[in-house]
Structure 1
Amino acid sequence: MSWLSNVRNKIASMTKKETPDNLWHKCKKCEAMVFLKEYEENLHICPRCDHHGRIGPMLRFEQIMDENSWKIIPFTAVKEDPLKFKDQKKYTDRLKAARQKTEEQDALITVFGTIEEQPCVVGVQDFAFMGGSMGLAVGQAFVDGANRALEEQCPYIIFTAAGGARMQEGILSLMQMPKTTVAISMLREAGLPFIVVLTDPTTGGVTASYAMLGDIQISEPSALIGFAGQRVIENTIREKLPDNFQTAEYLLEHGMIDRVVHRKEMRHELARTMDYLMAWKSAA
């Protein structure tokens, strides 16, 4: 090996050690390369175009809950593979892979804690867990969260992010739609607020059930929100839809949601909303 080749190999080796693969984040919207540390410190929002990246439950709880105030509500066991489903892989294998990837039990995690010293139950769907799909476990976790809110007499906040119902559980996944609706009715009867925060993306059976039943409907900027896909709708009605169709801003303009709130303002907005909606309790 020549002296020049030896020097080149050493430089390449040093470069690889000093520039790890996770040093940069590429924005999915503007494709700008941003320092990962800068991106994380900015709450996973692109500092160039303000695109709100997708985040998981633990990061969400850290961002909005009071420090050291929240505890995870334990999962109630459900039948994991009721239909013994198999496509290219066994459903049980897909669950195992999703759990290894996210380090979560299923696609919805609920906690009890405080936001600006106001007690609340908060649920966060994880799109990284099988597309945030709704099955028996998600439906049960939602109901467990509602029951805890009833027990504590506090608001229930849900952050949605889902591709819809979980196909591997067939009609049993669709039955979670009325099941969660009944839980929301119980909250309403008790006079407890149900606040929905729509995040990117919220679609399918989740949109058709609890995602659109909030007393207050909030969304993060530019979130994709809808039931069927835009292309499916266009092919059905044979009309061209607006480019911003099914975005949070479009839904706000057409009266389907109440607010579009920046992630940096979400914590205070939720605290203020809870304060308004729970005024009856302090006055009683």
Structure 2
Amino acid sequence: MNWITNYVRPKINSMLGRRDMPENLWIKDPETGEMVFHKDLESNQYVIPASGYHMKISAKERLRYFFDDGIYETVENPKAPVDPLKFRDEKRYTDRLRDAKAKTGMEDAVLNGVGTIEGLPIVATVQDFAFMGGSLGMAAGEAIIRGFETAIEKKRPLVLFAASGGARMQEGILSLMQLARSTVVVDRLKEAGLPYIVVLTNPTTGGVTASYAMLGDVHIAEPGALIGFAGPRVIEQTIREKLPEGFQRAEYLMEHGMVDMVVSRLELKSTIARLLKILTHTPLEPVPALADLSHEADEKTAA
């Protein structure tokens, strides 16, 4: 039996060219349990086709989907002190940073890009939840400020994609200082007369929600995104009451006036481009159907 198992079966498998199935070939829908082919999901911007569930995506993927033809120029982030408090819990903070950098290929949780959407030049700032939960530390704070400064310098609107668990506990009060600093730079952008649009993705919580993420001219949320300061479980334990169905989800917040609109990721680019053209007084392209009707009317008048 060992001879068959150890020699004959491997020999047959090699002759037939048997290969192991890639683990990420299919992805499970967290809501319905449906299995979705990875390539189909990727081509649909990681939105489950059947249920519309929006999966988390990296900052680089976000910019690639958002900018025209996926082309953009990355803005170099400023250097910031590493582990200023020499923090350690179960692991050293420096070890956590090293692991996060290896996992995401990013220096910290924020990525800035300069490019165009439907021909309109903009600056986009994206938080990556995969980098320590998108937490806001000194390096991330400096990167966000650099994004706003770039928009002011180039006189371009800024679109910010928020995704965060809040302030980074390993940096203590130094992390909380970034909330005030980012608020100041938001005011500078508005003083320059430049539009600021915020896209709230899943999740956007903590100090990020209490600062720059809720200071936009327009607030757009992705469907089903969790948005709030403290989490639902903490609130329930504090007030000792059951929260309403869908509390702190994007749709609930829109109904109660906390966000302006809920827009699918598949329609974000066109929606934001139209908003920015209105805010910057850029002529809008005519709707094809209306343009055709106008052309037909001119022809009839001429006849």
Matching residue's letter, 2:234: V
Matching residue's letter, 1:140: E
Match of residue 275, structure 2, among 259, 273, 276? 273
Q: 1:237 deviation in Å?
A: 1.7
Partner of 2:266: 264
1:20-66 CA deviation, whole Å, 9 max, x = no partner?
21211112222211111111111111122110000011111111101
1:214-266 CA deviation, whole Å, 9 max, x = no partner?
11000110001111011111122222111200100000000000010111101
Match of residue 28, structure 2, among 18, 26, 29? 26
TM-score by length of 2: 0.88
1:138-192 CA deviation, whole Å, 9 max, x = no partner?
1111110111111111111100100100000000000100100000000111111
Correspondence 1:158 to 2:160: yes
Question: In 1, are the aligned partners of 2:64 and 2:71 still within 8 Å (CA)?
Answer: no
Matching residue's letter, 2:190: R
Question: In 1, are the aligned partners of 2:156 and 2:194 still within 8 Å (CA)?
Answer: yes
Match of residue 199, structure 1, among 198, 201, 215? 201
Match of residue 120, structure 2, among 93, 118, 121? 118
TM-score by length of 1: 0.94
1:113-151 CA deviation, whole Å, 9 max, x = no partner?
111111111011000000000000111111101111111
Q: Where in structure 2 are there 5+ consecutive unaligned residues?
A: 285-303
Kindly report which structure 2 residues correspond to 1:64-213, keeping only aligned pairs within 5 A, or say none: 64-67=66-69, 69-213=71-215
Question: In 1, are the aligned partners of 2:63 and 2:70 still within 8 Å (CA)?
Answer: no
Secondary structure of 1:272 counterpart? helix
Partner of 1:232: 234
Q: 1:26 to 1:81 in 2, by over 3 A?
A: same
CA distance in 2, matches of 1:220, 1:11: 50
Partner of 2:222: 220
Q: 1:67 deviation in Å?
A: 2.3
Q: 1:281 to 1:83 in 2, by over 3 A?
A: farther
Q: 1:223 to 1:3 in 2, by over 3 A?
A: same
CA distance in 2, matches of 1:182, 1:126: 22
Calculate percent identity across the aligned residue pairs: 52
CA distance in 1, matches of 2:2, 2:190: 78
Which structure has the larger Rg over C-alpha atoms? 2
Q: Where in structure 1 are there 5+ consecutive unaligned residues?
A: none
Partner of 1:253: 255
CA RMSD of aligned residues (A): 2.1
Matching residue's letter, 1:104: M
Number of residue pairs matched by the alignment: 282
Q: Which of structure 1's runs of 4+ aligned residues deviate more than 4 A?
A: 2-16
